[in-house]
Amino acid sequence: MAGEMREATFQQLIDDGLLEIGDGYRAQNNELGGTGPIFLRAGHVTDSHIDFTDVEHFHAHLADKVRSKMSRMDDTIITTKGNSTGRTSFVTDRLPPFVYSPHLSDWRTRDPKKLCGGFLRYWSQGVEFVDQLSGMKASTDMAPYLSLTDQRRLKITLPPLAEQKAIAAVLGALDDKIELNR
């Protein structure tokens, strides 16, 4: 396909208004146990899907308080702490809304006319990201960790938007087929 590949750091994409990186909400025990928004923990995120079995819920009256940490369609989700660091998933219109826990980050496209959210999701499973992640998550002598600062340093090779969309469409169709068979 025609067009130029572009290399950028996540920080450059943020500065250009194309990307937003978010972290999760630090819930207090007394905020959970209700019937309000779902509180999604890292343990519910697998590389193939999000498992909503046994999720906790906020009390309904806290919905406005946690709204800024809620999922949005086309968010790429990444686990950032512990042995699960680097698992990724993607928010589709088939998922209920949920609040990210502190062990999760989200990558959100701010301009879908220049950066495809689905492409970010599949990039997060590719060698360019995995190689960077392996060095970053081992940079502490504690448990594996991918900080927001580290995420801003990530380098991504971006094809033109049409190619980003084509990649997301092809791989998304494969994921849909896998999900259907599950």
Residue length of the chain: 182
Q: What's residue 1's pLDDT?
A: 41
What digits encode the pLDDT tens for the residues 152-162?
999 999 999 99
DSSP string, 116-144: -HHHHHHHTTSHHHHHHHHHHHTSSSSS-
Average confidence (pLDDT) over 130-141: 80
Q: Lowest-confidence range among 66-70, 82-86, 102-106, 115-119?
A: 82-86
Q: Higher-confidence residue: 174 or 80?
A: 80
CB hemisphere CA count around 138 (13 angstroms): 6
Please state whether the predicted TM-score (pTM) of the whole model is above 0.85: yes
What digits encode the pLDDT tens for the residues 21-30?
999 999 999 9
Average confidence (pLDDT) over 77-85: 92
Q: 34 to each of 61, 70, 98, how far by Cα in Å? A: 9, 16, 13
Q: Is residue 123 pLDDT above 80, yes or no?
A: yes
- Return d(Cα 132, Cα 92) in angstroms, integer: 26
Q: What's residue 139's pLDDT?
A: 66
Q: Which region holds residue 101: left if phi is over 0, alpha if psi is between -120 and 50, else beta?
A: beta
Q: Is residue 135 pLDDT above 90, yes or no?
A: no
Q: Is residue 114 pLDDT above 90, yes or no?
A: yes
Q: Lowest-confidence range among 1-10, 18-27, 100-109, 111-120?
A: 1-10
Q: What's residue 142's pLDDT?
A: 75
Task: Give the full edge-to-edge strand order of the sheet including 56-57.
Answer: 56-57, 38-40, 98-100
Q: What is the mean pLDDT of the chain?
A: 92
What digits encode the pLDDT tens for the residues 85-100?
999 999 999 899 999 9
Q: Higher-confidence residue: 179 or 54?
A: 54
- Return d(Cα 177, Cα 100) in angstroms, integer: 27
Task: Give the full edge-to-edge strand order of the sheet including 76-79.
Answer: 19-23, 104-109, 76-79, 88-90
Which amino acid type is present at position 20?
E
